[in-house]
Structure 1
Amino acid sequence: MNKSNSWFTKQQLMRFSPLLLMLIFPVLGALYQLVNGPAERVYSLMTPIDEAIPFIKYFALPYGVWIFYIYVCIVYFFFKDRKSYYKSLLIYTVCAMTCYGIYLVFQTTVPRPVIIGNDVFSDLVRYIYNRDLPFNCFPSIHCFSSYMVMRMILTSPARNRLNTTLICGMSLLIIISTLFMKQHVILDVVSGIALVEVYNLLIKAIPALVRSRRTAKQARGFGA
């Protein structure tokens, strides 16, 4: 009986061990703090459209739950579509590291409004503002990661009407919240989405290129 239980436990540990890859998130979070500050020169990418977008404190709620939402989506992929799980972790990591590199050489900021009021949403906005300095804006990590999980579910064999609606709806809400919270500008959003698309293409292209070269090499070998 004990032997059976031990075997069962080992099997379960092996099954769930890929979740340990999510430990990359606290590592990336620590690296984020190293670049979250003003550089010698800080740029603004505000446009007249950004200036016209109103501040709406109620968007603090979807903005604030962002990282927990990303965790839930990635764990969901682990159980429902293992390929999307690994791909999500890879794209998130390379996109985050690319963002950090950009922050080091091209630091941007977004002017924040003065928060008036003592209601729960005003307090939540103040908490978010105090916790996250007004830097590291271009590209937006909130936007690239939210768009990433949305793109994953749209191409996943595990997709259905319910999970597609929930993930796409929440991702779009978070992306929009970055603008209404005055945490990001339109160019931050666009660049975050573009980053995911670029790396998604590379992830597809590199294996195809390797296979093509391998096939060509084998063909030359047969010809010899």
Structure 2
Amino acid sequence: MNDQLARSLFMDYLYDEISESDKTKLKAYLDKNPELKEELSKLDQTRSLLQQMPEPDPAQQLLVMEPHERSLTQWWTQAKSLLPHSLLGKTVFAAAAGLILFFFLGSLAQLHIDTSNDGVALSLGYSPTANQGLSQEEANALVAQIKEENAAMFADYAEAINQQNKEQLQQVITYFEEQRMQDLKLVNQTLNELQENTNYRINRTNEYLGQVLQTVSYQNEN
């Protein structure tokens, strides 16, 4: 049981759709995690509040309106009521309408407005100057620059690959050196153990021969 699995069982627990085994596991886990237990308690409180809220009546919220057809005269009358009635309002509205009409006709006639220190210049049929592209010298310089950048990039890449290969080769050499030292230590340890075992056997053999010679000498004396 973890936090994610415990949260996935919250809704089943609140609506009593959880199995007994999962309920037992969940309760045991919540006892060890008070923060999750508090989270489950808040969810239970929210569920209780939602159940106490009255259900909305869809019939009361539904509003049906019949379509209202307007004649051309009624439409014009309503449109005129939206226009300003004061002299200042009419002047501002006329200026705005004229400005909109001016820009609309200017866009159709390809009007171009150019401002400078000498004033404002208007011209019709204006079309921006097309870019003629690079000259031959500029193109050659750009190609040479790209070649130099590519050569530098490939040199850096080759240097990085070479350095990486050196590091990997050094790691392999170090590994084999360490492995060889471990093998030598193991062989030396085995030889030492064999020498000790041989010395032990020789000593035991000498002791046994001494006991045999002592027994034979004692029997000859008697």
Bin for the TM-score computed over the shorter chain: under 0.3
Higher relative contact order, structure no. (Cα contacts within 8 Å, ≥ 6 residues apart): 1
Q: Radius of gyration: which is bigger?
A: 2
